[in-house]
Chains A and B, each alone.
Chain A
Amino acid sequence: MAFPQPRPQVPQLPQHLLRTIECQQGAVRAVRFNADGNYVLTCGSDKSLKLWSVSRGTLLKTYTGHGYEVLDVDSSYDNSQLCSCSSDKTVILWDVASGQVTRKLRGHAGKVNCVQFNEEATVMLSGSIDGTVRCWDTRSRRYEPIQILDEARDGISSLKVSEHELLIGSVDGRVRLYDLRMGQLHVDFIGSPITCVCFSRDGQCTLSSSLDSTVRLLDKSSGEMLGEYSGHVNKGYKLDCCLSDKDTHVLSCSEDGHVYFWDLVEGSLTLKLPVGKAVVQSLSFHPTEPRLLTAMEGHVQVWGAEPEDTAKLSSVC
């Protein structure tokens, strides 16, 4: 006879401001946790890319080499490499430790909105305003992409990579799911331009936010809608959305300066986190802990579930 299951804990939401980082790099276009969540990467409009420590909030490294504002960044699973994309139409592969440009890949015809490593960091995928997703090989010295996915009819706004799937959101109002294992392409019609897509952590669902101020949770295999979340404002900007660390909540940026938390199952608004007055441009959820990063204008805020962190820190200071 097994012991009774421990009562599931009430999921804690990162609603306490732990730290504010002034990035000093113009507007922060995107903020991202690294693979293990110990570091923060910020993309600045002053062509720089910065690496921060979350716990101390200190600047560790600045990566310069882009010719225009940096739009997205991703770190490899082993934290040894970074890939970033920029309005200068290039994708850059960085060496984290040395800060040197390992490879600079040109080929996109327009600014590159999003970039992502695959699981083993053997391929970089970049989506551009030119409507293509290019798959770059990080192992070879070739400067041509392995494959170009040009099925989208408008710019690519967001993409995510799982073990064997590519989830690509496009401004043409469709979410495309490329299944490499099956050799199939599933196109889900949303209707409104997609701003952000992501997988749920169990890999069964896809989340997509669109310019009709709605976030939709779709079943990955059938395309059926499991949940619809609205209330926030997303009408003109490319805003991020994500799921919480345990898939309990759906989060989305909003143009009214808040981050919205919805209960995933019920679809009800759980929390409306006030971040600031301006548009919350980007957010990133910690891979394992209830910790959130938000980017607004020139600074990044770190949010945690418990406020004592800050207390501790202040006492230390």
Chain B
Amino acid sequence: NMASDEDSDEDFVTYGTPLEPLEEDEPIRKPVPVHEQTVKDEKGRYKRFHGAFTGGFSAGYFNTVGSQEGWTPSTFVSSRQQKAERQNARPEDFMDEEDFSEHGIAPREIVTTEDFASERKDQLKDKARAVSSLAALIPGDTGLLEELIAPARSSIGVELLRKMGWKDGQGVGPRLKRRQRKQNTDAVKVHGGALLPSGSEESEDEDDEFAPENVTFAPKDVVPVDFTPKVDSHGLGYRGLNPLQALGGGSESAHINLFTLQSDRTSSLFGDRNSGQKRRGGIAGQAFGVGAMENEDADIYHKDSMSNYDTVLGGEEPGDGLYGWTAPQQYTRKKNDSKRDVVYLGRILDGFTLASQVTEIKTVYPPPDLPRDYRPVHYFRPVVDLSTVSPIVAQALQASRGHLSQDAPQQGRHSLDSSQRRDMLGETVAKEQNKSPDSLTSPAKTQASSETKTFKPFQKNPQKQARYDLYINKLKKGDKEALESSLDSSMTEWERGRERDEFVRAAVLYKPSNSSLSSRFTRSKNEDDTDSVEVTRDQENDVDDKQAAVKMKMFGKLTRDTFEWHPEKLLCKRFNVPDPYPGSSTVGMPKIKRDKYSVFNFLTITDSSHVSREGPSASKPPGSSTTLPHLTPEVNKKSRWDKTGKVSEPKDPLSAFLSETLAQSDGKQTEPKTDEEEKEEDEEEVRPPMDLFKAIFASSSDEKSSSSSEEDSEEEEVAPSTSEPIQISAETLNPPVSAQITPAPDISKVPGII
């Protein structure tokens, strides 16, 4: 009994929480007062009921409408950029999004406008209309009326076609010759079935003879392909029995054709031309059905007609017996087409046509034969660091692989240098032309790398540095007496002691920087900044030329240089001027990068200080500027004295210089020159211009002038003279001027003025 109880307990599914078992001894509990009845949600938080009957749900923000900020009405905002818009409130504005579907509000999405929509869209409406017309008093009337009243409207495609001369019922495409008859027969074939005599094609041929040559006909209308998706699980082209047709199948259906040519699908495409007939058949015919006891097949109320019988013995049935009595009518017609007959004997399903080209047979390649002992499992060889592994294991590994794992990284193609790769490829050493750049670059490179990689704390004292290097090398090799052996034995004990300390400290200080510190830092990406400097692209013309022009008071072309200059966009905007270079991102003068250490850079930077200093020493006559060598690329514009045209406007200073020197070394002048000029050229060869010397030997005069002017300004700041008029900073440039400055009397000291 007990066991059965247990079983029953387990079997039952229980809902809800069971009441606590009543125990007689326990006193009856007091009912919990209302204010102590609390409800908690699943997370244990107190839940509050809302509304009059405590059944409401919490809405808004803590029992309020609005948000944390409170209920803020949409304020009126209107500015020049943002005009206030008239707002029409719709019901959707006050609804939750999830309620839209409940109230039949469709989600808003992009739909094609009616103008561009195809006529397919109207199918739904058409169906609805058809249904309503069935139900109407006068069947088919409402639709007719509506069509009569509805404004003519055709899609944009049809409109375009009409404009191009297309008419309803015609096909689309260029006009053809001698095709009218064919079109007619095709049309009949499509719609009318096999009623037409089979001899029609012969007659068509005859008719073609009479068709005039110069008359063209529109191409035939193409039967649209039925793209109705196949939703049933029947075979292709098969249609299940329509119970209406099979049971109540009227007078017309002699036999039930499961493979009707004119399926519902095609008829729907062609329009409802036959629908009237079908409808008529639906109502007419047997009215009351067959009795339950009677055999289904006995069609007792059915009026027999002669059309149900074959009039000819063995008539249209094909003789080959390929099909039973359900053989499609299409087949009989296809027979005429001898070409197709040869290729394909079977029936062509509707929606399919015979391919004009035979499909290529795909060659299938068999999978490769696997070796017999092939196991389809890959296992990875363990990578072992040789230094940590016992020599026996290493040897074993070496034997198994042929090389050590330590060598493995060297096998990488990128880690090899060119000679190694060359050896591997078996190439011969390239000739000198390849070699020469190498020899040019390599010393500089090695120097740079050594400089950057190893720290040289005692660079000032090369001998000491050498000793230090020796010490470091020995230390690296693990020599224990590295320090003692690398020190100079000829030095005194005290010196050696000091140096020992220094070396140890230096080694401790700077060795880790190679390993640990360098790993923390990455090299800056644009290293070339260190080698090149930004220089304005357009350089000013020769100052000496201008100086001469000023002396001759020939201002104008000679003293004026015009450069491209890009103002900031905002500046143009503030000046109400259109940006002269829209789309250009450069600001100021266009700049280019040049080699920092090129001598020519300093040559190009001409300064008025150059002029003022050079002026008296050189003391050239104005005409002597012709003798100026054209080493400098500044001469972009032709000056008055450049009529001979020997300035070939060099683009690159280096190439210009090279060409110049080449020409000089060859002893040939690049261009024919007059005797005077040749003499002058000779002079130049003997003595290069002062600029060159200065650029190489003297410190930059630019720095000098700037620093001195700075000093000047500082001096002025330190000792301000209240009454002295403002001094221009040009004294440094013109020493005589500064010498002539006479301090004006201090007004604070001169009471008479005040």
Contacts and interface: CB of A to CB of B under 8 A. Distances in A.
A185 B560 CA distance: 10
A225 B556 contact: yes
B348 to A, nearest CB: 76
Given A154-B729, A155-B709, A211-B730, A189 B546 contact: yes
Contact of A185 (B565, B720, B741): B565
Contact of A235 (B561, B565, B722, B737): B737
Contact of A211 (B549, B567, B737, B747): B737
B451 interface: no
Contacts of B611: 191
A3 B723 CA distance: 56
A54 B754 CA distance: 20
Contacts of A173: 608
B405 interface: no
Interface string B709-752: 11001001100101111111111011001101100110100000
Contact of B560 (A157, A182, A188, A191): A188
B729 A155 contact: yes
B668 to A, nearest CB: 36
Given A189-B543, A223-B560, A281 B725 contact: yes
B723 A298 contact: yes
B575 A164 contact: yes
A236 interface: yes
Interface stretch (A7-15, A98-106, A142-150): A142-150
B28 interface: no
B571 A146 contact: yes
A151 B589 contact: yes
Contact of B575 (A29, A110, A113, A180): A180
B708 to A, nearest CB: 11
Interface string B537-576: 0001001001101100101110111111111101110111
A183 interface: yes
Contacts of B557: 222-223
Contacts of A184: 562-565, 580
Nearest to B579: A183
Given A164-B577, A297-B723, A146 B744 contact: no
Contacts of A118: 574-575
Interface in A259-317: 278-279, 281, 297-298
Nearest to A210: B730
Contacts of B730: 154-155, 171, 193, 211
A67 to B, nearest CB: 11
Contacts of B745: 278
B747 A147 contact: no
Nearest to B745: A278
A32 interface: no
A178 interface: yes
B282 interface: no
B2 interface: no
A225 B556 CA distance: 7
Interface in B668-725: 705, 709-710, 713, 716-717, 720, 722-725
Interface residues of B, number: 65
B722 A183 contact: no
Interface in B339-363: none
A122 B576 CA distance: 10
B169 to A, nearest CB: 67
Contacts of A216: 555
Given A154-B730, A185-B563, A235-B737, A123 B717 contact: no
A224 interface: yes
A186 B561 contact: yes
B386 to A, nearest CB: 61
Report the interface size class on chain A: 35 or more
B724 A146 contact: no
A182 B754 CA distance: 50
A249 interface: no
Given A153-B608, A181-B580, A281-B725, A297 B744 contact: yes
A147 B588 contact: yes
Contact of A187 (B563, B577, B607, B713): B563
A191 B547 contact: yes
B608 A154 contact: yes
A178 B561 contact: no
Contacts of B741: 236
Contacts of A187: 540, 560-563
A279 to B, nearest CB: 5
Interface string A15-35: 000000010001101000000
A192 B717 CA distance: 25
Contacts, number: 199
Contacts of B737: 211, 235-236
Given A147-B588, A180-B577, A223-B559, A27 B734 contact: no
Given A135-B568, A178-B567, A223-B556, A123 B574 contact: yes
B574 A137 contact: yes
B622 interface: no
Contacts of B549: 189
B578 interface: yes
Nearest to B567: A180
A195 interface: yes
A236 B741 CA distance: 6
A159 interface: no
A22 B753 CA distance: 10
A171 B588 contact: no
B555 A225 contact: yes
B733 A235 contact: no
B510 interface: no
B576 to A, nearest CB: 7
A281 B565 contact: no
B61 interface: no
A111 to B, nearest CB: 6
B663 interface: no
A26 to B, nearest CB: 5
B570 A27 contact: no
A153 B567 contact: no
Contact of B734 (A150, A181, A211, A222): A211
Contact of A27 (B608, B713, B722): B722
B560 A189 contact: yes
Contacts of A110: 710, 713
B587 interface: yes
Given A154-B733, A191-B546, A222 B560 contact: yes
B574 A223 contact: no
Given A184-B564, A185-B562, A187-B563, A238 B727 contact: yes
A120 interface: yes
Given A185-B562, A222-B556, A147 B725 contact: no
A163 B581 CA distance: 18
A218 B661 CA distance: 41
Contacts of B588: 147-151
Contacts of A218: 555
A225 B574 contact: no
A158 B10 CA distance: 105
Interface string B248-280: 000000000000000000000000000000000
A95 interface: no
Contacts of B553: 225, 228
27 contacts: A27-B723, A27-B747, A68-B717, A110-B710, A120-B576, A122-B575, A148-B588, A149-B588, A151-B589, A154-B705, A154-B729, A172-B607, A178-B567, A180-B575, A180-B580, A186-B561, A186-B562, A187-B540, A188-B559, A189-B559, A190-B550, A219-B556, A223-B556, A223-B559, A238-B726, A281-B726, A297-B747
Given A129-B713, A164-B577, 16 more contacts: A26-B722, A27-B723, A118-B575, A164-B575, A183-B564, A183-B567, A185-B565, A187-B540, A188-B560, A189-B559, A191-B611, A218-B555, A219-B556, A225-B556, A278-B745, A297-B747
- What are the 10 closest A-B residue pairs judged by CB atoms, nearest first? A183-B580, A223-B560, A193-B730, A225-B555, A185-B565, A224-B556, A147-B568, A189-B559, A189-B546, A122-B574
